[in-house]
Amino acid sequence: MEAALPPEWKVERWLNTLAPLSLASLRGKVIFAVAFQMLCPGCVSEGLPQALRARAAFPESELAVIGLHTVFEHHEAQGTEAALAAFLHEYRIGFPVGIDLRRPDGAIPQTMRAYGMRGTPTTLLYDRAGRLRLHQFGHLDDMRLGAVIATLIGEAGAAEDMAPEPERAGAGCTPGGSCG
């Protein structure tokens, strides 16, 4: 039996790409998506640099690296497109970044809610068929991430999920919590 496909991202605007992206439009590539916030220390020091390293390590024809800006706190400081564009420029982040669709009540953004993300950074890895194969809150070791990406690039579509790595305390920011 075929595994169900995960929900599409709910993005209000895309930066660093000429056209909107979707899981369906990227099918055929392995997708590495990192959910982040500009003011999340773990995102700035670990999540986004790791995404840049993955972008440099694997060919774009095989791996799509995507950022999902999922703002769930400090909306005034990091909730504008202009602030995000300046952040991406300063940190030299050239891969596509989608702004997670905010809910009218200002609560958890829609993609973050749909995926049950616990905070930022969160890594999402999809196989070539668009199936979610890894969902990890907090930092994921570079060697393990590279091995999983290489495995997904090399496989012919196996359906089993990758086992999650044990989470580290203080590795990210949580809604209503703190950044550590």
| Residue 61 pLDDT class (50, 70, 90 cuts) | very high
How far is residue 108 CA from its own chain's centroid?
A: 15
Nearest alpha-carbon partner for 60 in 34, 26, 93, 91: 26
Q: Is residue 23 part of a domain?
A: no
| CATH label of the domain that carries residue 97 | 3.40.30.10
Q: Does 58 reside within a domain?
A: yes
* SS3 at position 18: coil
pLDDT greater than 70 at residue 178? no
> In this model, does residue 170 exceed pLDDT 70?
no
Domain assignment of residue 87, yes or no: yes
For residue 165, the model assigns a pLDDT of 45
In this structure, is residue 106 part of a structural domain? yes
Q: Is residue 95 part of a domain?
A: yes
Domain assignment present for residue 52? The answer is yes
Structural domain harbouring 37: 11-15+28-154
Q: DSSP for 89-132, please give it.
A: HHTT--S-EEEEPPPTTS-S-HHHHHHT--SBSEEEEE-TTS-E
Q: Is residue 176 part of a domain?
A: no
Contact between 66 and 95 (Cβ < 8 Å): yes
- How many separate domains does the chain show? 1
Q: Residues of the chain with pLDDT > 90: what percent?
A: 70
Whether 171 maps to a domain, the answer reads: no
Please say whether the beta carbons of 35 and 27 come within 8 A.
Answer: no
Distances from the Cα of 50 to the Cαs of 10, 18, 101, 127, 145, in angstroms? 23, 24, 24, 19, 9
User: Quick check: 132 and 122 in contact, CB under 8 A?
Assistant: no
Q: 84, 83, 80: which is closest to 67 by C-alpha? A: 84
Residues 15, 96: contact at Cβ < 8 Å? yes
pLDDT of residue 105: 73
- pLDDT, tens digit (0-9, with 9 covering 90-100), for 128-165: 999 999 999 998 999 999 999 999 999 864 434 444 44
